[in-house]
């Protein structure tokens, strides 16, 4: 069984070399296949967002919980509602946001 596998692998390698040689003859010396771009919109949803700006200590002063609530109230004319949880899972009471100090109702 192993001999058959080795034989098939060598056959595949031989075919690969022939395909490369033919591509050089047809397309020229510098032929390299280009990577395919994702054209399916469903996969584009899986892209990763850039990292948040919260790591900078000067920015952390702007992102304080009380300042954020005050700015929201001034901009929208109403208070920001706490996060509505689903499934009955809530964070522990001692949990606070490491960046703005928000209590567990807003985490």
pLDDT tens sequence across 67-82: 888 888 999 999 888 8
3-state DSSP call for residue 6?
helix
Phi, psi of 50 (to 5 degrees): -65, 160
Tell me the average pLDDT across 2-20: 89
The number of helix segments (H) and strand segments (E) in the chain equals: 4, 0
Residue 14 pLDDT level (bands cut at 50, 70, 90)? very high
> Which run of H or E residues covers position 26?
helix 2-27
Rg (CA), the chain: 29
**Burial group, residue 102, by CB count within 10 angstroms (0-12, 13-18, 19+):** buried
Residue pLDDT, tens place only, 79-101: 888 888 888 888 888 888 877 77
Structure tokens at 69: 């609530």
C-alpha to C-alpha distance for 87 and 17, rounded to whole angstroms: 58
Tell me the average pLDDT across 6-23: 88
Mean pLDDT over the full length of the chain: 77
Tell me the average pLDDT across 2-28: 86
Chain-centre distance of CA 13, in angstroms?
36
């Amino acid at each position: 069984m192993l001999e058959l596998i080795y034989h098939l692998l060598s056959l595949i390698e031989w075919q690969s070399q022939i395909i490369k040689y033919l591509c050089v003859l047809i397309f020229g010396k510098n032929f390299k296949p280009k990577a395919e771009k994702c054209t399916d919109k469903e996969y584009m949803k899986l892209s990763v967002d850039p990292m948040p700006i919260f790591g900078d200590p000067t920015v952390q002063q702007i992102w304080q919980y009380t300042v954020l609530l005050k700015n929201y109230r001034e901009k929208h004319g109403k208070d920001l509602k706490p996060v509505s949880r689903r499934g009955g899972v809530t964070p522990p009471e001692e949990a606070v946001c490491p960046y703005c100090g928000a209590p567990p109702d807003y985490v």
